Amino acid sequence: MSGKGGNLVIEISSDTNDELSKTPNKFTIFMYTILEFAKEDIGRVTFSLKVGLAVLLVSLLILVQAPYQVFGTTIIWSILTVAIMFEYTVGATFHKGFNRALGSLFAGVLAIAITELALMGGPVAEPVIIGISIFMIGTVTSFMKLWPLLVPYEYGFRVILFTYCLIIVSGYRMGNPIRTSIDRFYSILIGAIVTVAVNTLIFPVWAGEQLHKELVKNFNSLADSLEECVKKYLADDASDQPVFVKTLMDEFPDEPAYKRFQSTLNSSAKLESLALSAKWEPPHGRFRHTIYPWSEYVKVGTVLRYCAYEVMGLHGVLHSQIQAPYDLRFIFKTEILEATSKTAELIRCLGKNICDMELTQKCALLKNIHDSIETLQRAIDLRLFNKDDAKDEMNYQSRKQSMSLVTFTSLLIEFVARLDHLVEAVNELSKMAKFKQESL
Q: What is the pLDDT of residues 60-82, one digit of tens each?
A: 888 887 777 777 777 888 888 89
Other CB atoms within 10 A of residue 227 CB:
20
pLDDT(224) > 60: yes
Over residues 260-293, the pLDDT tens digits come to 777 788 888 889 999 999 999 988 888 888 788 9
Over residues 141-191, the pLDDT tens digits come to 999 988 888 887 888 899 899 888 888 887 666 666 677 777 778 888 888
Note the pTM of the prediction, 2 decimals: 0.79
Over residues 369-424, the pLDDT tens digits come to 888 888 888 888 777 766 554 444 445 446 666 787 888 888 898 998 888 899 99
What is the model's pLDDT at position 202?
92
